[in-house]
Every structure is written in structure tokens, then in C-alpha cells.
Structure 1
């Protein structure tokens, strides 16, 4: 576990890949450039977050497919894919295809629950079945069976057409690289019982207190108690400023300050509690992380990039993370 004496094993980054709605391609190209930079800097993984009906990545599988052809080593993941927007069988086909094209580098991160803005999208997303769609853990089970190569139909032939009983293509090993995005003690425990890897982030749900680190630490401990061999990754918003310009430091500080009020008490009916963004020198951030009850129990991280920054900001943050913060945490670049 990454204390001051135990090194961090894997370092990744997470992004939503913002773009201009009137001219999306430059933003998408910038995202692919950032993933390539991540590989060059030795990052172990790059993760994409879904942003449906927003100016961000709505199709991580397509982005991963493109990135897989521009990189050779860095792992590519989703953090997370909300299964409520997906057909589990079709998603399994797409992920297996990209996993094979990438040489086995895909890490599917998934979650369940009704889609965000359900009342606004249900008539378009599920015009005939909205009232009967199952957004429970059963949807995860459907996905795991499909991606794991279990039978989903009857094999046979129709005329000259030959049909398989399982999703094609099948990518061996992909099932073992599935992660579950959990924000509550219940979901973290359930993920452990299913043999899924655990993705934690900068938000917990159902919070009854205000100590984010303690709550997240309790969730990770419960997971590891039930699945000690499972992988756990933490995804706090982390912004090192070692080589940032004065203007960048001012921008980063203002960004974190604007988001700070939501970290002081649980928000909304879901009682969401957010972690404060960590902004400062790599030395300062490393000291904070080594004292964090969640971070002290993980050996992998996928630090989240802030939203709505410029490409040059992301280049500086990624570079400082890989060349200064990572080494301060005992991490060594891959490759």
C-alpha cells in the first residue's frame, strides 16, 4: 500500500475529453494527443468518462479504438460506462473487438442505476420499454455473461449461415479486467462478491458524515476484506503545479475554490459527498495523499483531469504528474 515507504504501483489519468459543440474534431484530436502523451510519459493507463448529451466523450469505445491504433502499451479504460444507456450484449461485442485490436489493453469500467435526466431521455432511449427496463445489478450480470463468453443464444446454422452461441468476437481475459464504479459501501461490497475490480472516484454516495477520506477508506477496506486479490483504483482530482505558469496556477486555484463548497456536506437526495480537489506542488500533494485513508489502501490510481481546461493545461498537468508527482509517490514510469 502506498505509504511514504511503499511505492505506488500503477499511475493513470482520467478525462472527459471536452470539445466545441460546433467544431468537435479538434477537441477529439487533442484528446488522442493527450493519450499518446500519456504513453510517452510512461503512464500505465488512460481512462475515459462518459458524457452523454454533453460536449465530452459520449462514445469511449470509439475513442479507445482510435487510441489503440496510435499507441502500443498504455491500457485504455472507461470510468465509467453507465449500463443504463447500453445494450449489454452489444457493448460486449464492441469492447471485445477493441480489446483484440489493442492487444488486450481494455479495462471496461461499468455502473448501474437509471440514466441521468431519466425523465428527459427515456422516451428517446427506450420509447417502448422504459417502464420495464431493469437498471439493477441484473444488467451487470447480463454484461458479464456476454463478455465472459457464456452462451447467449443457441448455436447452429440457417442455410449457409453459421451462428455461435456466444458473443463474437470473444476476447479471453477481458472479463477479468472489468471494473465496477462504486460510491457506496453496499456497491463496493457487492463488487467484491462478484469478483469485479473496484473503481473509486472523487465522490461517495449516501454519506452520513463529512470526512470523505474516512468514508472512502471504509468502502475500500470492506471491498478488500471480501476480495483481497481484487484491484482497487482511486480517482481523485489532482493538479500538480510544479511547472505551471502564474496564470495557470491562478486558474487552477479558482477552479478548486469554486468546487469547494460541495465538499463540506452531503449534497442532494443521494447525499453525495465530494472530495476536495488537490492543487499544489507535487511535494504538497504527495503529503496529502499519504495521509488519505482511501489512498493508503490502494496501489493504483487514475487521477482525474479537471473539466474545461485548455490542451496546454492538460499537457502541463500530465507532464508534472508523470515526472514529479508519480516519482514522489514512489511510482516508476512504464516502458
Structure 2
């Protein structure tokens, strides 16, 4: 089979010919149709992600396709038979024509969801739903501030925040990206390139006494500015550090305003609380089936253009998700 392979960190991936894998007990083999790219893919190729597979490895974390073969003990799962359309999450290995996945970690797809949409769905929507509903306990009527509001996870935070009844302040770079955030339901728009982000955030949230929940996949100066905009007992979610800079957290500010900083690593739940992920995805798929979620895919690229897809993420040219098709 054909697969992209990273043979050395900080070097471009190469297309390689690898043996087609055979499913073992509890596994299925998926014929991959689409792979959603994430900022984590870029970091993993640089050895900067929290998970560091040994080289050489096949990149790609989020996939959708059809079941091609099943291992022992899988025949008893009638919803996971050859030909079934499924989506899943892998620590790596998705950018290949075939991959093996634990049967227990695959999800069946609504008839109305395309394989491209499925490949763009799990991590972005799952991250935002777990962060807002499970970790920050966002309530209807609260004010939510979303950084990177036109990006892969930020845009879903806008959409989910509105569905949960929050007032959403979207912060993104430039009018074009802010227009996309507005279409997802944002109430107030702030250009992150403003000369005084701290003042802009405080002014936007002032009518409601400040921000209740901050959703931050950017890090750096954005996080620091958000602290000043929070109302007492505000919750700040750290989702990632797309800016490349870890924020400086002034503990005295947290103390005085009774603020909470909350971390969220979606993939971590696979190891210590997988049922939390399962329940979250069940809710999200129901919302999708009801027409309440609209995955935004800005670029759909062929398999050979995987490096171009990474470059779109690196240079922040993408909005929503970038999907690679096979």
C-alpha cells in the first residue's frame, strides 16, 4: 500500500510503499477515504507534540473510510462489518491506503454525513464539546470568548457555544476569517491584529461584566490579554499553542479574581476515560443528524498534496479543516 512516512524529524514526509496490514483480534482494517489534518500533525513531524512516535512513522490522526476486513472477536459486532462506513482517531498512521484500528474505537456514521465531513469532525468538534461542556461547564446566558475563531477547533467552539446558549465573542485575524466566524453564530467580532487586544476584549465584554469562559487554542499574548477581560470566577481553557508561545500565567491575577485555568487534551481521554469521549461524540453526531452542526472544510486536497495541506495550516491560510482524500 501507499503511505506517507516521516523518516526523520523536521524533514519532509515521503511517499513509501509499505505492506498491507492484517487485522488481529479486536481489530478491523479500514480502507481510508479521507484524513483530516490537525495542527498536531505539524507538531508531531517536528517532535514537538506530546506524543512522539519512533521514526519512521506514518502521520495522520483523524480518518474516515470503510471497513475492509475484520479480526477475530469482531464478527460479533454487527455494526462493524466489511463495507460499513466508519470514522476513527489514531495517534498516528492515518495517511495510508489502509490502517488497523481497535473495533471499540470506531464510530458508525449518519447516512447524511460524507466521509470528508467525518474526517473533519471528531477532533475539532470533540475538543470543543469536551472543553465547553465537560471541563468549563459553560452555561446558557454566559459570555464565551474564542481565540482562533476561524481555525479548525476555534470555529467549532463558536458553533457549539452558540448551540449551548452562550453569547460568543470571536477573535480571529482579518475580515475574511471574522466573516466565517459570524456565519457560525458569533455575536461580536474582534480582529486579533488590533493594536490593543487587551483593551478591545475588555470593551467588548464590559456590558456583561466580563468574560465567563475563554477558549484559547492560540496561547501567548492572547491568553494574557484574556485574563484582564474575565469576570470573577471566569474559566480559561488552554487548548493549544498555535502562536508557538506558551502564555505567562500571573498567579496573583488568578487569585484576586478567583479565576480557573483548565487544560484540555482530547486524545488523553482515550487512555483514562474513553466513555467520556464516546458520550460526547454520540451527542455531537445527534446534533449533526438534526442539522445543528455544519463542518467547515476550506480545502480538500488529493493524497499527493499532503505537504501542501500542512503548509496551509502552518501559514494559517486554512479556515475550519483541511482534508486529504484518497
Question: Of Structure 1 and Structure 2, which has the larger fraction of its residues in helix?
Answer: 1
TM-score, scaled relative to structure 1: 0.30
TM-score, scaled relative to structure 2: 0.30
